[in-house]
Amino acid sequence: MTHKVGPKGQVVIPKDLREEFGIEPGDEVVFWRDGDHVAVRAVHSRGRLKGRLAGRPLVDELERDRAADRRREESR
């Protein structure tokens, strides 16, 4: 599988590879030299943390604390 480098130095990552590695539009990738070739890897940003801790005791405790704070504010 080969692709041409565009005038701005851009190369399209083939769809099957994007799907396999979970690379979506807007994602960041990192490049580095690996011997005699260039390697690329998706950077899984911190922005995808939403929902990762759902159902964990810490999250439940935080939700209880926030609910208590709301009740206190509403009772004022």
Q: What is the pLDDT of residue 50?
A: 65
Q: What is the pLDDT of residue 53?
A: 67
Helix/strand/coil for 5: coil
In tens, the pLDDT along 46-69 reads: 555 667 666 778 878 888 899 999
Q: CB under 8 Å to 41, separation ≥6 — which residues?
A: 29, 30
Average the pLDDT over 19-32 and give the result.
90
Does the pTM exceed 0.75? no
Q: Rounded to the nearest 10 degrees, how much is the dihedral formed by the CA atoms of 11, 15, 16, 21?
A: 80
Quick one: 18 exposed, middle or buried, by C-beta within 10 A (0-12, 13-18, 19+)? Answer: middle
